[in-house]
Chains A and B, each alone.
Chain A
Amino acid sequence: MSLPPNSSVSVVEDDDSLRIAIAGLLDSLGYRVKTYASAEAFLEDPAGHQADCIITDIQMPGLSGIELKQYLDALGVVTPVIMVTARTEPSLHARARASGAACVLQKPFQEADLVRCIEGVTSA
């Protein structure tokens, strides 16, 4: 049920420091990581879709994480999407869950929560 080691994870996050940090953590967990500074950059990369799991920030300049998920749904991409956000509004979290995110994590999230999320997703 969980992601096998060496699976690829795509990280979409506009905050440079956090993007690198998440990549670093996933690396330490044994995953292959590709990083993107925006949802647009992710969509432009054909390799991006081939990830086993996508971790995306919700609030970004340009396409939001929720919009990205909807876009992927329209494309028929079924890769599990984990969303992370600094925002606290319950309505936003509700919308994120409603869009079909496998998990919605509140920043700053604990490593254990991220790990639990990743282990909980179904790989394609």
Chain B
Amino acid sequence: MSLVADLFEHVRDAVVCWDDQGIIRVWTPAAAALYGWTADQAIGEPFQTRLGPVPDGLGEAVVERRTAAGSALVVEATWVRRAGETLEIGRDVTAQREVEHRLKRSELRYSSLFQAMAAAFWELDFAPVGGLLRELRAQGVIDLPRYFADHPAFVRKMMRHTRVVDVNDTTLAMFGVGERRRLAKSVEPYWPQASSPVYAAAVLAAVGRQSHYMTETRLRRRDGTEFDALFTAAFPHEGLVQGALLVGVIDISARLAAEADLRRLRDDFAHAARVSMLGELAASIAHEVNQPLAAITTNAAASLRWLSREEPDITRAVDLTSRIAADARRAADVVGRVRGMASKRAAAREAVTIPDIIEETLSFLRDDLQSRGAKVQVDALPATVLGDRTQLQQVLANLIINAVQAALPGHRADVRIAATPCGDEVEVSVSDKGPGLSVEPDSLFTSFYSTKPDGIGLGLPICRSIVEAHGGRIQAANAPDGGAVFTIRLPTETDHTKV
């Protein structure tokens, strides 16, 4: 026993030994240091007075004790019992326990936050993906972005290897998962094919030691429906080493819908303002043109009266006829002034690339086109004109909306936009597969009344003004294979003399 006792003198853990009466026989310096009782004070005393109660039958346990001075202790103890003797080896885990408690409290706080968040949180294990990437590197792949772009199947594989550790309740609701057990093991089912590049970008951000990655994308619910989401991934460096990754998802469908509504409202407002302005314009045009017209009609009538007398009054008729001519000129001036007014707004002059404004106009109209399920095909060769970008976009928007609205009932709108350089001009055409034009094509650009109750037919005369102010021409015609085609010809940038 003394050799063993000597050995235990040097062991860091507190070693105590008591006999079958419970009297302490061995009390190492470590025990003295831990409990505060010296060997003299401990040896010979019942162990309960120095160590407190010891659980029966257990081989090891964590027990709470007090030092001689009365401070609290937490000891992880191991007991070996043999023929009446009990050997106890105790380790001070007081500090450790305190840290564990704090960690547990923090974890509780975290997990309740985790649950309570309005965002959908996912705790993911990224380590398997790390393995895949190491394999790639071993194969000599160094350009990861390129590899991901060229190998979409690999991106899906990475998704399947991204393990779901935990999610909060919001995730279950947002992704329509219902019960936790129905959650997929990996994230792959929740990523639409079209969103794969976003996942790839998130991986690259993680690998590139970014702290986080955030973007808008579309994700998929359990039932396959997609929704617009704000995707955020946090890559805390320490966590990443172990492969842990926290992803937050916020459903932004409502926000996008509100933005689309706002855009539509703004457009409606602008359109209404334009219409009311044009309505005002039309009213004042009518008024101004009707004066000389009334004079012409009256003079013509009077002139006929003078001429149909028994003795025709030629002098008077001549006088009246010259008045008629003057009034006709007055009417023409009014028309000219009005057309000038319509296109006068901020005539900016910058180089405008035709394919660009087609794209911009389409993106501006994207919601309308999408909501109608319109099919739009663009074949635009590069060409540049000098002019007012906004005005040209307005002309394009007018023609595209008209083309979409021309679709036969029950049919999807099928619109084709083409831009073809043609000598020193560019020819931009917008064609539809509607019923075609039923009126004299040129009258579309001169009439002030639309055939549709809420149509923007009021725009075509303005379109003509704008196009002509840019030194171009606009025409409408029926396409040989059905539908209508509106063609704008504009001088291209190299020819300054025409603009």
Hey, which bits of chain A sit against chain B, CB under 8 A?
15, 17-18, 20-22, 24-25, 27-29, 59, 84, 86-88, 107-111, 114
B268-298 with Cβ < 8 A to chain A: 283, 286-287, 290-298
Verify if B13 is at the interface (C-beta below 8 Å from A).
no
Taking a contact as CB atoms under 8 Å apart, the answer to whether A17 and B292 are in contact is: yes
A-chain residues with CB within 8 Å of residue B297 when the two chains form the complex: 108-111
Taking a contact as CB atoms under 8 Å apart, the answer to whether A108 and B305 are in contact is: no
A-B residue pairs in contact (CB < 8 Å), sample of 27: A15-B291, A17-B291, A17-B330, A18-B291, A18-B298, A21-B294, A21-B302, A21-B327, A24-B298, A24-B302, A24-B320, A25-B298, A25-B305, A28-B305, A28-B306, A28-B316, A29-B305, A86-B286, A86-B290, A88-B283, A88-B286, A107-B290, A107-B294, A108-B290, A108-B294, A109-B294, A111-B297
Q: Which residue of A lies closest to B296 (CB)?
A: A108
Total contacts A to B, CB within 8 angstroms?
75
Hey, which bits of chain B sit against chain A, CB under 8 A?
283, 286-287, 290-299, 301-302, 305-306, 316, 320, 323, 326-327, 330
Q: Which residue of A lies closest to B293 (CB)?
A: A108
B-chain residues with CB within 8 Å of residue A22 when the two chains form the complex: 298
B-chain residues with CB within 8 Å of residue A27 when the two chains form the complex: 302
Taking a contact as CB atoms under 8 Å apart, the answer to whether B299 and A24 are in contact is: yes
A59 to B284 CA separation, bound complex (whole angstroms): 12
Q: How far is the CB of B285 from chain A (nearest CB, A)?
A: 10
CB-based closest 5 A-B pairs: A111-B301, A86-B290, A107-B294, A21-B298, A108-B294
Q: A25-B305, A28-B306, A29-B305 are in contact. Are A17 and B287 (CB under 8 A)?
A: no
Q: How far is the CB of A15 from chain B (nearest CB, A)?
A: 5
- Residue in B286, B292, B301, B326 whose Cβ sees the most chain A Cβ within 10 Å: B301
A-chain residues with CB within 8 Å of residue B323 when the two chains form the complex: 17, 20-21
- Residue in A28, A29, A84, A109 whose Cβ sees the most chain B Cβ within 10 Å: A28
A25 to B301 CA separation, bound complex (whole angstroms): 7
- Residue in A21, A88, A114 whose Cβ sees the most chain B Cβ within 10 Å: A21
Taking a contact as CB atoms under 8 Å apart, the answer to whether A18 and B294 are in contact is: yes
A110 to B297 CA separation, bound complex (whole angstroms): 7
A-chain residues with CB within 8 Å of residue B299 when the two chains form the complex: 21, 24-25
